[in-house]
Amino acid sequence: MTPWYVGAAEPVAMESVLVQVVKAIVIFAFVLQVVPIVLWAERKLLGRFQARIGPNRVGPYGLMQPLADVLKLLSKEQFTPQTAVPWMMAIAPAISIFTAVAALAVIPFGPAGAWGGQFGLYGMDVSIGVLWPLAFGALAFYGLMLGGWASGSKYSFLGAMRSAAQLISYEVALGLSLLGVIMTAGSLSLVQIVEAQSHQGMWYVIPQFVGFCIFLVAGFAETNRPPFDLAEADAEIVGGYNTEFGGMRFGSFFMAEYINMIIISGVAVTMFLGGWLGPGPAALAPLWVILKMGLFLFLFIWVRATLPRLRYDQLMSFGWKVLLPLATLNALVTAIVVVATK
Q: Is the pLDDT of residue 104 over 90?
A: no
Residue 4 resides in a domain: no
Residue 248 resides in a domain: yes
Residue 10 resides in a domain: no
Residue 12 resides in a domain: no
Residue 244: what pLDDT?
82
Residue 333 resides in a domain: yes
Q: What percent of the chain has pLDDT over 90?
A: 30
Each residue of 190-203: pLDDT tens digit? Answer: 999 999 999 988 99
Residue 14: what pLDDT?
55
Show the 3-state SS of the chain.
Answer: CCCCCCCCCCCCCCCCHHHHHHHHHHHHHHHHHHHHHHHHHHHHHHHHHCCCCCCCCCCHHHCCHHHHHHHHHHHCCCCCCCCCCHHHHHHHHHHHHHHHHHHHCCCCCCCCCCCCCCCCCCCCCCCCCCHHHHHHHHHHHHHHHHHHHHCCCHHHHHHHHHHHHHHHHHHHHHHHHHHHHHHHHCCCCHHHHHHHHHHHCCCCCCCCHHHHHHHHHHHHHHCCCCCCCHHHCHHHHCCHHHCCCCHHHHHHHHHHHHHHHHHHHHHHHHHHCCCCCCCCCHHHHHHHHHHHHHHHHHHHHHHHHHCCCCCHHHHHHHHHHHHHHHHHHHHHHHHHHHHHCC
Each residue of 208-246: pLDDT tens digit? Answer: 999 999 999 999 988 888 888 877 777 777 767 888 887
Task: Judge if pTM exceeds 0.85.
Answer: yes
Structural domain for 334, as ranges: 17-340
Residue 271: what pLDDT?
95
Quickly state the pLDDT bin for 8 (edges 50, 70, 90).
very low
Residue 88: what pLDDT?
85
Residue 11 resides in a domain: no
Q: Total structural domains in the chain?
A: 1
